[in-house]
Each structure stands twice: as C-alpha cells, then as structure tokens.
Amino acid sequence: MNGNLIASGCEKEASHERIVEIISHLGKPSLIATDVCPAPDFVQKVAARFHARLHIPERSMLVEKKKEIGKEIQNPHVRDALAAAVKAYRHYENTLRRIEHSDTAFDKELLKHLFIQGYSVKNAEFMLAKREEKKLEQSGEIEDRRTRTPEQVKKDERLLSILSENENLRKALELERARRADAEEKLKRAGTSRVVEVSRDREVQRLQGQIARMQSFIFHLKNRSEKKKMKK
C-alpha cells in the first residue's frame, strides 16, 4: 500500500493453487497485476480465487521498461512481476498517498484497500463508519437505531448493500473484460494462423499445378522425340 516490496520469488511450473498458497501466507491482496495484455488465464484464476481486482496494462509492458523498474533484479520472471506490481501501484499512488497523510480516524490500510476495490474515499469512509456503528450497537455500547427513524436505517442499509453489490459487479466486469480480451487475442492469433494456412495451401496448389504442367510438357516432348526417332 506504500509502494514497498514485501516479498518476491519464482517457482518453476507452479500451479495457480500454489501461487494462491504463497500469497495467502503474506496477507490478503487488494489487487492482482500482470505485465501483459490481455491477462493470461493463470493470472485471472489467481485473482478470482481472492475475489481481487485485476490490473492489466493498456498494452503489454516493454522489456526495456521492465528492466528500468527492476534494474537491480537478475531473475527476469521476478523482475517482470515486480514491474507489473509497481505499474499498478503508480496507477493509484496519488490517492494512496493522500490517504496516508490524511487525519482520518479510520484504518488507513483498510481505506486504501476499499479505494483500490473501486470505492471513492468518501464512500469507503461511509461504509467503515456504518460498520463501526453496527459493531457498537451489537455490543450494546450505543443505541443508534433508537435515535434514527426506520426510514433512515433502511436507507443506510440499502446504500451499504448497493455499494457492496457495485464492488462485486466491478470485479466480475473486470474479470469478464480480461477473459474477453484473452478470447479476442486467441481468435486473432487463430485467424492469422488460418490466413497463413490458407496462403500455404494456395501456394501448394499453385506449385502442384506448375509441376503438373511441366510434367505434361515433358511428356509431350518425349512423345515428339520418340516419333522423330521412329521416322528416322
């Protein structure tokens, strides 16, 4: 949340289950980032397991840019992963810094998490305030509901429900966009491959026709040569 590297690593042929296990030991991710566009199926699965947002660059990051970000890292896989994380952090950096230096009474790390999930800072603070009120009410420390009208209570509950639903819809939409981009890329590659295949087939047919014509020409030449010999 502050742009600091917590951990990095690389495992050969690790399953997404293994990656989920490694991340879980470190904490709960607010975001899963990738350095390529579209996002690979592997990355999408990891993000889905954590119900986390997916950060995908508008276009795949250039090797030179990744080397610039991770210039002190030798392993190219670790370097690429770090570059993806740093690029994602920079996308949210200004607001994350404002939250860090604010005088908010709420948990700043949780505020940052909710902001990255797609909430405005104002809505995030509203959600945290209502959650805190609910905890205090349940513990008997305050009797907030008795001082509010049933309409106000329902309105707040409805707003919390809408905010939560919007968060889930945003995550689902991002994953669907990633899957669609991946499908379009695969379709594009398949189309290109098909064009190459069709072109190759046409070239083969052209060459076969040319060979057939040459064989026919050679056959006629042989016939003419044999006829001349017979006349002699």
Distance (Å, rounded) from C-alpha 157 to C-alpha 112?
Answer: 22
Distance (Å, rounded) from C-alpha 100 to C-alpha 138?
Answer: 30
Give pLDDT, residue 20: 93
Q: What is the mean pLDDT of the chain?
A: 79
| Unique residue bearing structure tokens 């016939």 | 223
Distance (Å, rounded) from C-alpha 208 to C-alpha 199?
Answer: 14
Name the pLDDT band for 205 (thresholds 50, 70, 90).
confident
- Which three-class secondary structure state does DSSP give residue 34? coil
Q: Is the CA virtual torsion 124, 125, 130, 132 positive or negative?
A: positive
Where do the structural domains in the chain lie, given as residue ranges?
1-101
pLDDT tens sequence across 154-203:
666 666 666 666 666 666 666 666 667 766 666 676 666 555 566 667 77
Distance (Å, rounded) from C-alpha 169 to C-alpha 174?
Answer: 9
Considering only residues 229 and 63, tell me which one the structure prediction assigns the higher pLDDT. 63
pLDDT tens sequence across 189-202:
666 655 556 666 77
**Is 82 a residue whose pLDDT tops 80?**
yes
Give pLDDT, residue 158: 66
**Is 228 a residue whose pLDDT tops 60?**
no
Contact 20, 43 (CB under 8 A): no
| Unique residue bearing structure tokens 């014509």 | 213
Name the pLDDT band for 122 (thresholds 50, 70, 90).
confident
Nearest C-alpha neighbor of 52 from the set 35, 29, 21: 29
Residue type, 225: S
Alpha-carbon distance values, 75 to 60, 72, 78 (Å): 19, 10, 5
pTM over 0.85: no
Considering only residues 188 and 19, tell me which one the structure prediction assigns the higher pLDDT. 19
